[in-house]
Amino acid sequence: MKLRAIIKRMRNAWRRHGWRMFGPLLLHNLRYYTKHWMRHGSLRMPRSSVDHIPGVETQRAVYLSELGYTGTVGESAEPYQPIDEAQFRSVMEALPIRLADYAFVDLGSGKGRALLLAAQAGFQTITGVEFSDELHQTAQKNLAAARDRWPNVDRIKLLCGDAAQYRPPLVPVVCYLYNPFGASVMRQVIDVWVRAMSTHSQDVWVVYSNPTQSELFMSEPVFEHQFTKAGSAVFRRRA
C-alpha cells in the first residue's frame, strides 16, 4: 500500500471514529502492517489465487470517493479492501466446526473474494450482501468468470442491498465481516441478528476481520468472544 493511501485511510478513520477510537485503531493497524511486512516483505496485499482466474479482479482497492458516497452513507461505509487469502484461510480452518454444515454470509461482500474462498472451503451455502451497486456488479462479473473454473460457484448468491436490513437465515451460520462499515450501521446489524436469534437455537459464529467495532460485540450478552486469530476476532452465540 502506498504512503499516500495510508495517510488517506488515517484521515478517514479520524473523521469517522473521532479521537477516542483513533488511537486504538492506529495501534491495531500498526501491528497488522508490521506483521504483514515481516511475513511478505512488502505492504502490498498479496494477490489471491482467486485473481488468477481469467476475468476475475478482486485486488484493487476502491475508495468511497470513486463510488460517489456522500453524507451519512459515506460516513458509515468503509472503502473496499480485499481480504488477505492466507488470513482468511487461517481463521476459517481454526473454527471448530464442520464448514459443510454451515451457511456463510458476508456482509459487505465487495467484489466477492471472500465468497469464492468460502465456496472453495466447502460451506453449504454462501451469500454476499453488498450496498454498492458498482461493487455488486463487479462481483457478478467475477462469479460469471469463475463459473466452471472454481469449485461450488453455484452455491453463491449475491444480494445488492443494505446489510442492516438483511435478515440472517435460520440455519447454522458463519457471519463474515471485513470492517465493512462504522459503528452506527454495525449496531443496526447486530440488533437484527440478535432479534433473529431469539426465534431459533441454531449455532451462529461471527468472524470479524480488522475488527474496528469489536467493542459492540464484546458488550452484547448474546455473543461470546472465542479467540482472535490472523487479525480476526471470532465470536459465537452464547449457549
Buried residues in 34-54 as b, exposed as e (16+ CB within 10 A): eebeeeeeeeebeebebbebe
> In this predicted structure, what is the pLDDT of residue 44?
60
Region 85-237: CATH code: 3.40.50.150
Neighbours of 192 (CB within 10 A): 16
Calpha distance 79→67 (Å, rounded): 9
Beta bridge partners of 157: 127
Q: What is the phi/psi pair of residue 175, to 5°?
A: -95, 125
- Condensed to tens digits (0 to 9), the pLDDT of residues 17-34 reads 555 555 655 565 566 556
Say what the pLDDT of residue 70 is.
Answer: 47
> Which pLDDT does position 71 carry in this prediction?
46
In 3D space, the residue among 109, 180, 120 whose CA is nearest the CA of residue 149 turns out to be 120
Q: Is the pTM of this model over 0.85?
A: no
In angstroms, rounded to a whole number, what is the distance separating the alpha carbons of residues 215 and 224? 12
Q: Where are the alpha helices (DSSP H) in 70-109?
A: 71-76, 85-94
The answer to whether residue 230 scores a pLDDT higher than 80 is yes
Residue 24, pLDDT score: 59
Mean pLDDT, residues 224-236 taken together: 96
% helix, strand, coil for the chain, step of 5: 50, 20, 35
Instruction: Write down the pLDDT at residue 74.
Output: 46
127-172 pLDDT, tens digit per residue, is: 999 999 999 999 999 999 999 999 999 999 999 999 999 999 999 9
Do 57 and 51 meet the contact criterion of CB atoms below 8 Å apart? yes
